[in-house]
Structure 1
Amino acid sequence: MRGLDLDYMLGLFPVIFGYVPLTLAMAAAGMVFALILASLMAVERVFRVAWLDWLVVLFISFFRGTPLLVQLFLFYYGLPQVLSFLTRIDGVTAAVMGLTLHFAAYMAETIRAAITGVDRSQWEAAQSIGMTQTQMMRRVILPQAARVAAPTLVNYFIDMIKGTSLAFTLGVTEMMGAAQKEAAGSFLYFEAFLVVAIIYWVMVECLSQAQKQLETRLNKAYAR
């Protein structure tokens, strides 16, 4: 039984760290687009636009009910066979699309629950002073819903960062892809993947601490 090659691991850390920006960029882009899409779907689910509601329900059901890896393969390998203009799509774009749509389906339900959880008196007060639905949502309801939804949305961002590890299956050389290549050349698979696991672990722990501080700050105004 051989021991860990610590020298190899220490030398591999800087190599893998070089791909952290790409991992964070994919997760950040996916989070921004997912948040926008999820907010729109959540508002629709609250007000129930008849001709659109069934489409939103179908979207949420599909992307919550199928694995992320299957969705990534569908976007990168499947859709270009059906839609010719997608043949130029690269792995990073396909990964961001997959992350966006997959997590938007989950985030939409979180935001919808946060919106409906706002006390009815807030809705009635906004209506009583003549606010339109758009003004009411933008100035009164969504800011309060954001406080409730924020911790869960940070959890989804953490999951999204971990989900970027699947991008290597599309040929993207991010942290996981770089580790796979390094391990294939050295045959030190355990050490290579352990380095990746440690880096992901540190990133997630940093975000978890930031999440706790965010919760404390958001709840400070409501503390008695």
Structure 2
Amino acid sequence: MILDLEYMAGLVPVILRYVPLTLGMAITAMAIALVLAVVLAIIRVLQVPLIGAVVAIFISFFRGTPLLVQLFLFYYGLPQVIAAFRSIDGVTAAVTGLTLHFAAYMAESIRGAILGIDRSQWEAGQSVGMTQIQLMRRIILPQAARVAAPTLLNYFIDMIKSTSLAFTLGVTEMMGAAQKEAAGSFRYLEAFLVVALIYWAIVEALSFAQRRLEVRLGRAFAR
């Protein structure tokens, strides 16, 4: 047989034990990245002097360099020059890298959603004496959130898949567990096929949720 199905069946529960760690890293990174992305997007939209230029450089760097390189910088590079990073573990480095990398992408998506709000909404808020922050919090962001939600969920799906890079930092998540099992049994095809199928199942479940969300948002806009 090309595939050892019995070995694959026995490997499934082994890999599933690491699903909570994989999802935990993704959820933590997504939560922090979302907050950071909103702040970055608002700074870009309001064109805050000096800080806006720094934010633009931040976004350009993290969008313009590979995630794997960024992870290596946090885990292997920065500890050589910054003492505080010497005690960082693989999970923390992975979550940090995922957070900053995806915050840069999400900030641009949120900025686009904010700029897509009709200008009359801004003018109406300003006419009743709202500050820019009040206007953003009460009127603009709630509308922009509905526009950006499907895209942000798509980034979360990409983030889950990107957690597989954490094994390069010594983190034993799903990919790391599959690598260890494959190295011990030399059944690389079976091990990596199992982990691929598990990732696929998770992504399909989230993609289904994304489609349902898009349908609901479409109905809301139709009204």
Task: Specify the TM-score bucket, using the shorter chain as the normaliser.
Answer: over 0.9
* TM-score normalised by L of structure 2: 0.98
Provide the rounded CA distance (Å) in 2 between the counterparts of 1:156 and 1:19.
21
Identity %: 73
1:96 and 1:72 map into 2 onto residues whose CA distance is 9
What letter corresponds to residue 3 of structure 1 in structure 2? I
String of CA shifts for 1:141-179, please: whole Å, max 9, x gaps: 000000110111011000000000000000000000000
Structure 2: distance between partners of 1:162 and 1:57:
26
Aligned to 2:215: 216
Separation of aligned partners in 1, 2:116 and 2:58 = 23
Which deviations, in whole Å up to 9, do the C-alpha atoms of 1:170-210 show, x marking residues without a partner? Answer: 00000000000000111000000000000000000000000
Aligned partners of 1:201 and 1:217: how far apart in 2?
A: 24
Task: State the alpha-carbon separation in 2 of the partners of residues 207 and 105 from structure 1.
Answer: 22
Cα distance between partner residues in 2 of 1:16 and 1:71? 26
1:174 aligned residue: 173
Cα offset for 1:222?
A: 1.6
User: Counterparts of 1:218 and 1:183 in 2: how far apart (Å)?
Assistant: 44
Where 1:49 maps in the other structure, the secondary structure is coil
Q: Deviations over 1:66-116 (max 9, x none)?
A: 000000000000000010121110000000000000011111100000000
Work out the CA distance in 2 between the residues paired with 1:29 and 1:145.
23
State the alpha-carbon separation in 2 of the partners of residues 205 and 126 from structure 1.
41
CA distance in 1, matches of 2:53, 2:135: 25
Instruction: Tell me the distance in 1 between the aligned counterparts of 2:53 and 2:222.
Output: 40
**Residues paired across the two proteins, number:** 223
1:114-148: per-residue Cα shift (whole Å, max 9, x none)?
00000111111111222121111111000000011
Partners of 2:105 and 2:220 in 1: CA distance: 28
| CA RMSD in angstroms, aligned pairs only | 0.8
What is the aligned partner in structure 2 of residue 149 from structure 1?
148
Partner SS for 2:222: coil
User: 1:67 aligns to what?
Assistant: 66
2-side partners of 1:91 and 1:218: how far apart? 38
Instruction: Please tell me the residue identity of whatever aligns with 1:128.
Output: S
| Structure 2 gap ranges (5+) | none
Query: Structure 2: how far apart are the matches of 1:123 and 1:53?
Result: 20
Q: CA deviation at 1:219?
A: 2.3
TM-score normalised by L of structure 1: 0.98
